[in-house]
Amino acid sequence: MAVAKKKAEPTDARLDVECKRTDLVRAVATLRQISGARTYPITSHLLLRSSDGGLTVEASNLEIFGTVSIPGQVGVEGGVTVDAKRLGEFIRELPDDSVHIVGQPNDSVEIRSGRSRAKLTGMSAGDFPVSLPPDGSECRCTLDGDSLGDMIDRTIFAAATDDVRPLLAGVLLEMHRDRLGMAATDGHRLSHEEAWVECSAERKAVVPATALRVVRRALGSENVTVAVSGSVVWFSCADWMIGSRLIEGDYPDYAQVIPKDGDATVVEVARDELLSCVRRVSVVASERSRGMRFRVADGAVELLAQSADYGEATEYVACEVVSGSQAEVGFNAAYLAQALEAVAGAERVRIRLGSDQSPAVISVPDLDGWLHVVMPMRI
């Protein structure tokens, strides 16, 4: 609910607004992840704009941009910039929940709260980069924030973390008339999930994983609109909006690495127990390869890792054999652990194993739409 506007007094301030500290802390924490393009110092700042509706906080690093609106009591409408890190650290430690922000003519910003005062150096608001507007035709869908957050959590960890393959450092967004899909792969594993929601058109777009991490932090349980327009994607809610340039190029055809139906051993295992065993066994795995052997026999899964530097460890987990009987495959233990961590809350996971040269498929029996593929490794 917006706070009533107070009567402005004669002043030469560039901005004068009061707001709740908790609201401002949340806005700054969400947007601080965006700030920081090295070649443009002003992108390490946040733009604060006061208007009749309250305070709007903006961030941009020229690739990702975002705004968060919070209610406030406005004395003077205007705009100032302030260093995101310094502002965030100062307001987080304030004892009072009311913050008074005053922009000075010399581009500095004064922060007042109770008996606390700080004057932070700013830069000209007119130099702050303008967010990219949507361009071209738009494809959009709306879903609840909890569902979108789960989709991000269960896919983003499989995206590449280096700059060598820019496309794989993104997450493929697939918008169909009846569903929204996300897929991520770093070449060694693939995570894919679909949610059944209506989209206004068909569209594929590669969203930087860094942008999705910002979105994930902003998400609550309220509905979120996802819109792709030209070379830009927008995620918007009632009081915030995160946008990003898309990664150009054709994303690999991930469907080719998903094993087709055929002879395979399929087992169901308690997720928590398996994850604990993988973590323990991985302690002695080689730091370079993280290799671990995964063997199914006699109604149990045997996990084995060994290295010349750290020794060896073996664990056994009871399993239900759905089909087949025996299988033995080598995996990167860290990849397997991360896949299991992504489905926190699941009681059981289903693992499909082919030959020792075939990728494994991990799914959750009661989680429709998600699957994870892990490539095998020689041990």
Do 235 and 291 belong together in one domain?
no
CA distance 207 to 151: 13
379 within some domain = no
Helix, strand, or coil here: 157? helix
Do 202 and 280 belong together in one domain?
no
10 within some domain = no
Do 119 and 208 belong together in one domain?
no
Instruction: Retrieve residue 53's tokens.
Output: 């509706």
**Which one, of 211, 248, 207, 253, lies nearest residue 228 by Cα?**
207
Do 157 and 183 belong together in one domain?
yes
Do 239 and 268 belong together in one domain?
no
Q: What is the mean pLDDT of residues 177-204?
A: 96
Q: What is the mean pLDDT of residues 147-152?
A: 97
Would you say residue 36 has pLDDT above 90? no
Domain CATH for 33: 3.10.150.10
| pLDDT averaged over every residue in the chain | 91
Stated length of the chain: 379
Per-residue model confidence (pLDDT) at position 263: 81
Per-residue model confidence (pLDDT) at position 339: 97
7 within some domain = no
Q: Please name the residues in contact with 297: beta carbons below 8 A apart, sequence gap of 6 or more.
A: 325, 326
Would you say residue 203 has pLDDT above 90? yes
Do 250 and 270 belong together in one domain?
no
Q: Are strands 45-51 and 78-83 parallel, antiparallel or unpaired?
A: antiparallel
CA distance 68 to 66: 7
Do 338 and 277 belong together in one domain?
yes
Instruction: Retrieve residue 211's tokens.
Output: 């942008």
Do 262 and 337 belong together in one domain?
yes
Do 154 and 241 belong together in one domain?
yes
Q: ∠227-231-232 over CA atoms, to 5°?
A: 40
Q: Which of 255, 288, 320 is the last residue of a domain?
A: 255
**Which one, of 377, 376, 349, 374, lies nearest residue 363 by Cα?**
349
Do 295 and 232 belong together in one domain?
no
User: What does residue 99 show for φ and ψ, rounded to 5 degrees?
Assistant: -125, 130
64 within some domain = yes
Higher pLDDT pick, 377 / 192: 192
pLDDT band at 10 (very low <50, low <70, confident <90, very high): very low
**For the chain, how many structural domains are there in total?**
3
Sign of the Cα pseudo-torsion (129, 134, 136, 139, in order): positive
Per-residue model confidence (pLDDT) at position 169: 95
Q: What is the pLDDT of residues 329-372, one digit of tens each?
A: 999 999 999 999 999 999 999 999 988 888 999 999 989 899 99
Q: What is the mean pLDDT of residues 207-228?
A: 95
173 within some domain = yes
225 within some domain = yes
The radius of gyration of the chain's CA atoms, rounded to the nearest angstrom, is: 25
Q: What is the pLDDT of residues 263-283, one digit of tens each?
A: 889 999 999 999 999 999 999
Do 142 and 218 belong together in one domain?
yes
Would you say residue 8 has pLDDT above 90? no
Full-prediction pTM beyond 0.85? yes
Q: Which of 108, 127, 146 is the last residue of a domain?
A: 127
334 within some domain = yes
Which residue range is the domain that position 29 belongs to?
15-127
pLDDT band at 38 (very low <50, low <70, confident <90, very high): low
Would you say residue 9 has pLDDT above 80? no
